[in-house]
Amino acid sequence: MKMNCSETRVRLDDYYDDELSVLEFRAVNEHLASCDECKHELQAVDALRQALRDMPVAEVDDEFENRIFGEVRKHYSGASSSRFAAGFMTAMAAGLALWFATSIFIPQLPVDDASQVVMVALNDAYEVRLKFDAPVDLEQVTLSIDLPDNIELEGYADRKELTWQTQLKQGQNILALPLKAVAIGEGELVAQLFYGDKSRSFRVILKTTGNDALIYQVRKFNSV
């Protein structure tokens, strides 16, 4: 194979990257041996590539890694729920305290749209945690909670429906609902999220049993 200048030029990058077939590689080599102009072009390819490889990267400081993992720990410890819960707190009358776990995590319910069954013991207070995953920060979100007949919001017996405005931050948002089983039975807790013209429902089936067995998805609710 013989190559002229233009055939050689178009292959110089691949020659430099060792991406040519053996035959082409030889042909380019041969041409370069006898053509100063193409040799000069190859030097230009080399200079350009060298300069590209030398492009600077701004150094991170020593705390970079700790900062990253610190955020992950903070984010996945429930601590980020406070802003989200703010609207809820306002919506509720005084006298009801919400307790957020910041160190211990319990399984959250429900995950996305999947219905989950939670067993709760009669006359005991529990914290049911609803997890909302937001793809981006969302301002002006309306959240409504509908409670079944067998369940009350702790300290707020007469409200079966609650609606309030809130915000979601990107990622996980946790809402801890203090619930109390007041009657044996089964019912559905429905949480609905409205954002713009979109809405999403989350459902949890709450079954009340007569015994005191604590089921893992729910946790004792502590008033503070």
Partner 1 sequence: MWPIRRSDHQLFEQLMRPHLKYLYRLAYRLTGQQHAAEDLVQEVMLKLFPRLEEIEKIEKLSPWLSKVLYRVFIDQLRKDKRSPVDLIGDDESIYETQPGKEQQPAEVTESEILQKKIQYAVTHLNEDQRILIMLHDVEGYSLLEIQQIQDVPLGTLKSRLNRARAKLREILKEVEPYATYERVKGVRGI
Q: According to CB under 5 A, which residues from 36 to 55 bind Zn ion?
A: 38
Question: ∠ CA 137-80-63 to the nearest 5 degrees?
Answer: 95
Contact 26, 1 (CB under 8 A): yes
CB-CB contact of 102 with 79 (8 Å): yes
User: Using CB under 5 A, which of the segments 2-10, 16-24, 47-55, 162-170 binds Zn ion?
Assistant: 2-10
- When binding is defined by CB under 8 A, the residue of 22, 23, 33, 57 that contacts partner 1 is 57
- Nearest residue (CB) to partner 1, 65 versus 186: 65
Q: H or E element: which one contains 54?
A: none
Least separation in angstroms between residue 28's CB and Zn ion is: 10
Going along 25-122, which residue ranges are E strands?
A: 116-121
Reported in sequence order, the residue ranges of the chain that DSSP labels E, i.e. its strands, are: 116-121, 125-134, 138-146, 151-153, 161-168, 171-181, 185-195, 198-209, 219-220
Partner in contact with 5, chosen from Zn ion, partner 1, none, beta carbon below 5 to 8 Å by kind = Zn ion
Q: Which residue do the tokens 């702790």 mark? A: 154
Give the Cα separation of 221 and 74 in Å (integer).
22
Does residue 3 bind Zn ion (CB under 5 A)? no
By CB under 8 A, the residues from 104 to 163 that bind partner 1 are 104-108, 136
| Contact of residue 38 among partner 1, Zn ion, none (CB under 5-8 Å per partner type) | Zn ion
Q: Does 10 bind Zn ion (CB under 5 A)?
A: no
Tell me how many degrees the CA angle 202-216-123 measures, rounded to the nearest 5: 85
Minimum Å gap between C-beta 37 and Zn ion is 5
What is the closest distance, in whole angstroms, from the C-beta atom of residue 221 to partner 1 in the complex? 17
Residue 93 CB, nearest distance to partner 1 (Å)? 31
Binding mask 25-54 for partner 1 (x = CB under 8 A): ------------------xx--xxxxxxxx
43 contacts: CB under 8 Å, gap ≥ 6: none
Residues that bind Zn ion in the complex, under the rule CB under 5 A: 5, 35, 38
Residues that bind partner 1 in the complex, under the rule CB under 8 A: 13, 19, 43-44, 47-58, 60, 64-65, 67-69, 71-73, 75-77, 104-108, 136, 171
